[in-house]
Amino acid sequence: MSPGKRGLLSLAEPFLDLIYPPRCAVCGAGSASPLCQACLLAISPIAPPHCHICGQSTGDRPECSHCSRHQPSFTAARSLGAYDGVLKEAVHRLKYRDRPQLAEPLGIALAQFARETEINHDLLAADLIIPVPMSARRQRLRGYNQAERLARVVAHELDIALDSDALKRVKSSRPQVGLKREARQRNLAGAFAANPTANVTGKTIVVIDDVTTTNSTIDECAKALRAAGAKAVYGLTLAAG
């Protein structure tokens, strides 16, 4: 869009708001933000107790059954909330309903969660924030990478450097929806690689994604970054489930 057109749209916004008042993209209530306060407050946290590695609910154990048997490549991972209700609808609209503006309020909420979670000191001391990359084809079809949009907001809020090019997808994979853990791992094996021009050696990195089910994507990203010399890799996602 040309600067002239952007200027005209900026001038017209107050009048458009009178005709079409801004609304929450999830519930439709009047809201200056794409996600209203009521919807933000309705996000369900992950039920405690949590696995101290992957952050998933564990019942009464300090580690989930998977992490107790298989040490992941990432140092730890945490999710803002459970993938249900408002958060599930918000993520769905962000990814599939062309609502990239939802990345701002969701990213702000994710950054606030990072400040408050029990591994906050590790997250806030990170050197880089990196989004999970999409395949070029899928990004062309969608028009944007929702993980990158979220990462951009989180990096700004936490004042941590963002590198959207440090990690690249080198192998296409089928969508993870409906796959069991082992199938997810096979599907993503070797899918990511660190960009040779990126300097990740000795750095602590936070990888951002929208949804995790088994942390397979975060784990594969961590493998690639650790192979390139990263000191530690943490996962931070909007939703788990």
pLDDT at 202: 97
Q: Which contiguous run of DSSP H or E holds residue 69?
A: helix 65-69
pLDDT at 15: 46
pLDDT at 21: 75
Contacts of 180 (CB under 8 A, 6+ apart): none
**Structural domains of the chain sorted by starting position, each given as residue range(s) with its CATH number in brackets:** 45-240 (3.40.50.2020)
The one-digit pLDDT tens for each residue of the chain (241 residues) are 444 444 444 444 444 455 557 899 999 999 999 999 999 999 999 988 889 999 988 877 777 888 888 889 999 999 999 999 999 999 999 999 889 999 999 999 999 999 999 999 999 999 999 999 998 888 888 999 999 999 999 999 999 999 999 999 987 665 655 556 566 566 677 789 999 999 999 999 999 999 998 899 999 999 999 999 999 999 999 999 8
**181, 220 contact by CB (below 8 A):** no
C-alpha distance from residue 24 to each of 29, 48, 143, 186, 240 (Å): 5, 29, 22, 38, 23
Looking up tokens 């999970």, which residue turns up?
Answer: 132
Could you tell me how far CA 175 lies from the centroid of its own chain? 16
pLDDT at 27: 95
- Tell me which DSSP letter residue 137 carries: H
Q: Which contiguous run of DSSP H or E holds residue 128?
A: strand 128-131
Could you tell me how far CA 143 lies from the centroid of its own chain? 17
pLDDT at 136: 86
Of the candidates 168, 182, 185, the residue with the CA atom closest to the CA atom of residue 219:
185
Report d(CA 225, CA 13) in Å as an integer. 43
Strand 192-194 and strand 167-169: the pairing is antiparallel
Task: Write the DSSP assignment of 178-235 as a string of letters.
Answer: T--HHHHHHHHTT-EEE-TT---TT-EEEEEEEEESSSHHHHHHHHHHHHTT-SEEEE
pLDDT at 8: 45
Task: Determine if residue 34 is left, alpha or beta; phi over 0 gives left, psi from -120 to 50 gives alpha, anything else beta.
Answer: alpha
Packed helices 181-188 and 216-227: angle between N→C axes, nearest 10 degrees? 40
pLDDT at 152: 98
CA-based angle 238:240:241, to the nearest 5?
Answer: 145
Q: Which residues share a beta bridge with 194?
A: 167
